Homo-oligomer: A and B are copies of this chain.
Amino acid sequence: MIGTLAILAPGLLGASLAQAAKSRSLAKRVVVWARRVETRMDAARQPWCDAVFDTPEEAAAEADFIVLCPPVESIVPLAERIAEALKPHAIVTDVGSTKSLICRYAHKAIHGGAVFVGSHPMAGSEKSGMAHATAELFTRRPCFVTPLDDTPEKAVKTVVHFWRELDMEVTTIAPEAHDEIVANISHLPHVLATVLCTHLAEHNQTWAAFSGQGLADTTRIAAGSPPLWRSIVEQNREEILRSITAFENELHQFKSALANENYFEVLHKLELGKRFRDKLQR
């Protein structure tokens, strides 16, 4: 059991995490820091919250296990800010959806006995904010833990154990391999949904009136927060560029088959696509 768990900058995910950790007795105490004073007041009223601090350094100084939950671009600055305040055996992790840059810089920032191990729990909701927090957010969802080559094994085990206790299905993987996977299964689909929307918006806005459930489903994720996604694509720029190029090649193959009236190849692609999709089962 963790002595004191600090959740820094909780949104929906951080608050759900605190709630789940408390209800499963993963930590004796849960303490919080949030940037906005309203969020701190809100946190102080939650049954899962034992203390709220005005600075991240104060919250981190108390804690044995710290989870950094701000938007991706603020994770490294937050790690740097708390570094000097940490207990010598503190373990720090995060919930950012990109890993290479974060792990490289946070690993450097956290030192003197304390250790940083990156995490990416793939749990979320189209809702946001503490009000929608739920301890069930993590159940049977995938979670990546992304140590560097020289991250101490014991700290990695502690972080893996933490997510497993929340019923997550944990995969330990290098940050770069993680970023390649999420570029392809999450970031590329977001880019395609966005570009399909901008294509339609720029060509003829009235077309949307004739669209059905198919277009609605295909573009749903394009409704995500633009500033949030701007940061994600910035953080995972190289892998996303690679995935776009691979997709462009694949699209070009389909287009050539159609242009050449090679309907055998067109049908083959449609069948291959259906076979992959049918396995997703959602």
Contacts and interface: CB of A to CB of B under 8 A. Distances in A.
A223 B267 contact: no
A269 B195 CA distance: 8
A141 B269 CA distance: 30
Nearest to A280: B216
A199 B244 CA distance: 10
A194 B120 CA distance: 28
Contacts of A181: 204, 207, 210
Contacts of A203: 184, 246
A198 interface: yes
Given A196-B192, A246-B199, A251-B248, A258 B241 contact: yes
Nearest to A124: B212
Contacts of A207: 181, 184-185
Contacts of A247: 195-196, 199, 251
B194 A273 contact: yes
Q: Is the interface of A mostly helix, strand, loop or mixed?
A: helix
Q: Which of A211, A224, A245 has the most CB of B within 10 A?
A: A211
A105 B116 CA distance: 69
Contacts of A124: 212
Nearest to A246: B199
Q: Which of A122, A141, A214, A254 has the most CB of B within 10 A?
A: A214
Contact of A215 (B215, B229, B280): B280
A15 to B, nearest CB: 19
A53 to B, nearest CB: 33
11 contacts: A181-B207, A185-B211, A195-B247, A198-B254, A198-B276, A199-B246, A224-B274, A230-B266, A241-B258, A244-B255, A248-B251
